[in-house]
Amino acid sequence: MDNLTHSLVGIALSRAFFKDKAPLATTMLIVAANAPDVDVLWSMRGIRYIEYHRGFTHSLLFLPLGMLLISWLWRGLAGRLQRRKGSWDPAKGRWRPRGETEEGQRKNPVSWRLGLAAGLLGIGSHLLMDWTNSYGIRLLDPLSQHWFALDWMPIVDPWLWLILLACLTLPMLLAMVQHEQGGPRGHYRKSAAVALLAMGAWWGVRAAAHQRALEKLRQALDEPAANRALAAYPTFTSPLTWRGVASLPDRYQIGDITAGNGKPPRLHDLYKPAATPAILAAEHTRAARIFLQFARDPWVETRPGAGNTTVVMISDLRFGTPKSFHGMGVRVRLQHDLRPMSEQFRF
């Protein structure tokens, strides 16, 4: 998922479980919820994005290491604040002035247990959310490079933004108004719990719609569905619209599926091209090899280029149709003797 969604979930986790128990709780939960995406620091250039992003830092093996790092960082920052401000009062959610510091209150306000729990929930929420979308996640890296994906959610879901923002901000605004009128300031734990439950319910809605889309795709096929790879990929615009893809040995059958009505989807055929020398040469480039390991429904097109060159474009049907090549893919330019001139990854 996108980092705004991860951050909103981090805020909800902080308010529901950690707020007032220790200083910097919300900050550290936001950090933990986004921590796996630190891999963009070494995976932003070209095909390295596919090669390294959502790899080790998104794996189950990284989870205990990330928990330790979050706990160590939180304890270190809280300890520095404590030396400046006194001691933390969890009952009131604030720092005690130095003169009010009680004997025995000099220990670090963030215990290892609290820090590890924050790391587990923050980083764990990131892995879980990335698992739900169609891009996928390498949960077993580096032991296995297999991609796991539930295909329930698009990478960016504006509907989930609305759910989380409504559950988190409206109660906060109401509490601020109440406080201005002399009432007590709320702790927002209930609204945060509602936000997390609403997100879980939304996943349930998307999972049910995904299953319905797969069933409609299976019923619309003009041949028996045995031994086929069937997929229903979520779209950005509507939670009820899915991109259906059925892979046959010689072609794909694709079409948009509306899970909320009884109309069968209209499928059209995309015939897979023969393995020409130009395609084989392009597939042996480094960028193409990495991309084809990632692609689930690869599509290859060949076009003449300028100056007696050939351009081979490799895309993935889960990110769009091949007509415009505006989605994710690799473009390889070959000389007249099929030697690669350039290879470019586009996202």
Residues 21, 39, single domain; the answer is yes
Residues 288, 263, single domain; the answer is no
Non-local (6+) Cβ contacts of 172 within 8 A are 186, 188, 191
List the structure tokens of 337: 């003797």
Residues 139, 14, single domain; the answer is yes
Residues 261-269: contacts with CB under 8 Å, at least 24 apart: 264/216, 264/219, 264/220, 265/216, 265/217, 265/220, 266/220, 267/217, 267/220, 267/221, 267/222
Burial class (CB in 10 A: 0-12, 13-18, 19+), 153: buried
Q: What is the pTM of this model?
A: 0.89
The last residue of one of the domains, among 130, 150, 170, is: 150
Residues 261, 290, single domain; the answer is no
Residues 256, 227, single domain; the answer is yes
Residues 31, 145, single domain; the answer is yes
Residues 255, 140, single domain; the answer is no
Asked if residue 72 belongs to a domain, the reply is yes
Rounded to an integer, what distance in angstroms lies between the CA atom of residue 212 and that of residue 207?
9
Query: Which residues are paired to 244 by β-bridges?
Result: 232, 255
Per-residue pLDDT of the chain (347 residues; tens, 9 = 90+): 899 999 999 999 999 999 888 899 999 999 999 999 999 998 888 899 999 999 999 999 999 999 999 999 999 999 888 888 777 777 666 777 765 555 555 688 899 999 999 999 999 999 999 999 999 999 999 999 999 999 999 999 999 999 999 988 877 666 655 554 444 455 578 889 999 999 999 999 999 999 999 999 998 886 665 557 899 999 888 888 999 999 988 899 999 999 877 788 899 999 999 999 999 999 999 999 999 999 999 999 999 988 889 999 999 998 876 565 556 899 999 999 999 999 999 87
Asked if residue 179 belongs to a domain, the reply is no
Asked if residue 160 belongs to a domain, the reply is no
The last residue of one of the domains, among 150, 169, 192, is: 150
Given the structure tokens 């902080």, which residue do they identify? 14
Asked if residue 257 belongs to a domain, the reply is yes
Residue-wise burial string across 188-213, b where 16 or more C-beta atoms lie within 10 A, e elsewhere: beebbebbbebbeebbeebeebbebb
Residues 247, 321, single domain; the answer is no
Number of domains in the chain: 3
The last residue of one of the domains, among 247, 270, 293, is: 270
Residues 259, 281, single domain; the answer is no
Asked if residue 60 belongs to a domain, the reply is yes
Asked if residue 337 belongs to a domain, the reply is yes
CB count within 10 Å of CB 223 equals 9
Residues 117, 253, single domain; the answer is no
Asked if residue 201 belongs to a domain, the reply is no
Owning domain of residue 231: 210-270
Rounded to an integer, what distance in angstroms lies between the CA atom of residue 138 and that of residue 148?
6
